[in-house]
Amino acid sequence: MLSLDTIDITDERSYAEHGYPWREWDFLRREAPVFWYRKPGFEPFWALTKHEDMAWVSRHPELFSSAQRVTINSLDIADMFVQDREQRAALLGYDPAEAQSLTWMDPPLHHRVRQIMSPAFMPKAMAALEERFNAQASELLEEFLGLVDERGSADVANQLAAKMPVAAICELLGVPEEDREKLFLWTVGAMSASDEVSVQDTFMSNVGEIMQYLTGLVQQRMADGGGAGTDVISRLAAATLEDRKLPFSTLLNQTSELLFAGNGTTRNVIAGGVQALLEHPEELRKLNEDPGLLDAAVDEILRWTSVAVHMARTCVQDTEIRGQRIRAGETVAMYFPSANRDEDVFEDPYRFNITRPRKTHFAFGAHGAHFCLGSNLAKAQLRAMLRAVVPVLPALELDGEPQLLVPYALMAEYRRLRVRRNR
C-alpha cells in the first residue's frame, strides 16, 4: 500500500522496470502535492506534482533560482556532476559558479542571452524549414520501411526518429553539410549502450568527440566575429552584453546544450508518438481520416509522452505553497508528467485523445522564463514526421516490448521500439 513514508519517485531502476511512477504521482497530488521528500542517498527536496504549483514556481524566477541546481540526483551522481562542471570550468577558464548556458541562468541574464538566439527558433524561421522537414521525413520513412521489409522489423527510435532532430539542430547551428553525419553518429553513440559497454564509457567517449568538434566550430565563428551569419553560433559570436562579447566558454556550453537537448527530447517524443498511435488504433484512424487534427495530435502526443520528467529550482527567499513553508536554500522539484495527468486540468487524463480540448501542457516545462526555447522546432519536426508515418502506421504493429530508460529520473530515453508489418 502506498504511503508518504514508503513512496519512491527517484529510483532510476524502478523507472526502467516499471515505467513512470504514475500511482505515486497520483497519490502525491491527492495527499501531499507539496511534499518534503527524503530518501537515503538524496538530499531532501520539495516534490511538486500539481500543474498549478509548477506554473506558479516557473513564473517566479526571483523566488526560485536555476543557478544552483536544475536536477535532482543521488549524492554520488551529484558529486560527479559537480566535478565535471569544475573540471570544464578549469579547462575553459571560467568560474564554475557562473552560468554558462540558458538552463543555469536566471533573469535578467537569461532573458538577454535567450533574445540573441530566439530569432532562429521563432515560428517564421520554422515555417521556412517545414518543407525541408517534410522531405526529410519522407526520405527517412522510405529507408525505414526498406529495413522493415529486409529484416522483418526495425527500430523506430534509432532507425527512424533519431536522424531528423540532429539534422535540424545542425541546420540551426550552421554545421557544414559534410560534417553532419559525423555529429549524428556521435550523438547516437552517446545515447546508446550495450550490455558489454557501460553507459558512462559509451557516453563519455562520444561526448568527447562532439565537444572537440564544437570547440573548433565555435572558435572559427568567433574568429569571424559572427560575420553576417544567421545561425545560432554566429548570432552568439556577434552579440555583445554590456559592451562585451560573450566568452568562448558560454558559446561552447550553450552550443553543446542545444545539440544534446534538441536531439534527445524530440527523438523520444517522435518514438513515443508512434507507440501511442499504434497502441490506440481508434485515434490513429481519426488522424488518418482528418489530417486537420494534426496540430491537436501533436499537442496530445507531447502531453501523453511527457519525456522530460523533472527540473529543480532553489528557493532564494522564504515563501509558501499550499500552506507549506519553503525556506531559502531548499530545493523544489517539478514533476512535469504528473502535471500532464492532473485531473484538475485534463479531463480523463489517462486517456490518449487527439480531439482533447486544448489545454496548457508542460511537455516543454512549465511556462515562464525557462519555457523550452526549441518548442517550435520540436513541434515542426513532429508534424513533419506524423505527416509521413501516419498513413503507413495501420500496416505496422509493435514487435516486442519497447525498452524505455529514464537516466537519473530526468528524461525518458527509448533504447528500443521495434515495429513490423501486420501479421
CATH value at residue 252: 1.10.630.10
What is the span of the domain harbouring residue 116? 12-421
**Is 392 among the domain residues?**
yes
Examine residue 235 and state whether it is found in any structural domain, yes or no: yes
For residues 386 and 359, is the Cβ–Cβ distance under 8 A?
Answer: no
Render pLDDT for 134-174 as a digit per residue (tens, 0 to 9). Answer: 999 999 999 999 999 999 999 999 999 999 999 999 999 99
Q: Is residue 374 part of a domain?
A: yes
Question: Could you tell me the pTM of the whole model?
Answer: 0.94
Does residue 405 sit within a domain?
yes
What's the domain count of the chain? 1
pLDDT tens, 170-220? 999 999 999 999 998 888 777 664 444 455 667 778 888 999 999 999 999
For 326-368, how does the pLDDT look when each residue is reduced to its tens digit (9 = 90+)?
999 999 999 999 999 999 999 999 999 999 998 999 999 988 9
CA distance 66 to 371: 13
Contact 183, 210 (CB under 8 A): yes
Per-residue pLDDT tens for 366-406? Answer: 889 999 999 999 999 999 999 999 999 999 999 999 999 99
Asked whether residue 2 is assigned to any structural domain, the reply reads no
- What is the mean pLDDT of the segment spanning 283-293? 98
Assess if residue 5 is contained within a domain: no
8 Å CB contact between 131 and 398: no
**6 in a structural domain:** no
Task: Please tell me the distance from the alpha carbon of residue 338 to that of residue 23, in angstroms, as a whole number.
Answer: 10
Q: Does any domain span residue 415?
A: yes
Mean pLDDT, the chain, whole residue set:
93
